[in-house]
Amino acid sequence: MNKILNFFSLVKFSHTIFALPFALIGFFLAYEKTQNLDIKILIFVIFCMVFARNSAMAFNRFIDRKIDKKNSRTKKREIPSNKISEKSAIFFIIINILLFFTTTFFINKMVFFLSPIALIIILTYSYSKRFTFLCHLILGLALALSPIGAYLTITEKFDFLPLIFSFIVMFWVSGFDIIYSLQDENFDKKENLHSIPVSFGKKKSLQISFIFHIITSFLVIYAGIFAKYNNFYWIGAIIFIALLFYQHKIIYENNLEKINIIFFSKNGIASIIFAFFTIMEIII
């Protein structure tokens, strides 16, 4: 049981709530377009999200194992602390990648053929902080695949509205990842790792994060106007945007101890609430 719990901890399974609600939005956007509510495909979408995220998180932890061991904040993670061996981590990654590809095979040909590209993007984030401060946007792009990917499972074609939701995810995630990375600014400088805090410092990083969340808010509003959504959507949008900027109120240059509260709770809650009201708008 402890080994299983260690793997759940390795991939931070509870953090699936960040992207999964937006995958559900993408699926129900496809339902809105086609009136095809395929529960089997919905289950496959959820499995794809879990397997892809497990692959990405475990790969990230494996690639960063030596760096994590040097960092006082991360040295107790499962691989550096030997709770999970390197061989076990590699095996876990391979199994989840195979399960991801297998699941996409049973969805449709388009999703299956695009799955290697999606996986490459998802895994690239683990290396990106070694060469560019744009690593936050790469992480945002990886999670942004969830709405459009889920949409393709039913429609097998790209459309404008799910792409808007993908851009919402990209700038939302990139913005809060900048805030999260402030914790490691000094360590990353010593290790020659790249991030927006390393390149621009705390004050400018918080400003950039704020700008990203302004863009996110604009896209949320634009999506509602474009789709001509009514009350349910706008209730979710207002709550989402309010929680988005609430984190900027309680995080400022010298008050970083609340980062984990914001990262884990506020953004997860915002994602679930926004998805709930958006889906209610679509199906009612």
Domains in the chain (CATH in brackets) are 2-283 (1.10.357.140)
DSSP string, 89-136: HHHHHHHHHHHHHHHHHTT-HHHHHHHHHHHHHHHHHHHHTTT-TTHH
Q: What is the pLDDT of residue 250?
A: 76
CA gap 174, 132 in Å, rounded? 14
Q: Could you tell me the pLDDT band of residue 8, with boundaries at 50, 70 and 90?
A: low
CA gap 255, 183 in Å, rounded? 11
Tokens of 113: 């053929």
Q: Could you tell me the pLDDT band of residue 254, with boundaries at 50, 70 and 90?
A: low
CA gap 165, 151 in Å, rounded? 11
Q: What is the pLDDT of residue 257?
A: 62
pLDDT at 282 over 90: yes
Q: Could you tell me the pLDDT band of residue 2, with boundaries at 50, 70 and 90?
A: low
What is the per-residue pLDDT across 60-111, written as a single tens digit (0 to 9) for each? 889 989 998 888 888 888 888 888 888 998 999 999 999 999 999 999 999 9
CA gap 77, 86 in Å, rounded? 12
Q: From residue 183, give the alpha-carbon distance in Å to each of 90, 132, 186, 258, 260.
A: 28, 18, 8, 10, 10
What is the per-residue pLDDT across 162-190, written as a single tens digit (0 to 9) for each? 999 999 999 999 998 998 888 888 999 99
Q: What is the pLDDT of residue 280?
A: 97
What is the per-residue pLDDT across 118-165, written as a single tens digit (0 to 9) for each? 999 999 988 999 999 999 999 999 999 999 999 999 999 999 999 999
Q: Which is more confident, 72 or 9? A: 72
Task: Provide the 3-class DSSP secondary structure of residue 248.
Answer: helix
Q: What is the pLDDT of residue 260?
A: 64
**What's this model's pTM, rounded to 2 decimal places?**
0.93
Q: From residue 63, give the alpha-carbon distance in Å to each of 10, 58, 59, 100.
A: 13, 9, 6, 20
pLDDT at 29 over 90: yes
Could you tell me if 105 and 112 are in contact, meaning their C-beta atoms sit under 8 angstroms apart? yes
When computed from its CA atoms, the radius of gyration of the chain, rounded to whole angstroms, is 19
CA gap 216, 175 in Å, rounded? 9
Q: Which is more confident, 4 or 200? A: 200
Q: Per mean pLDDT, which of 159-168, 238-247, 254-263 is the most reliable?
A: 159-168
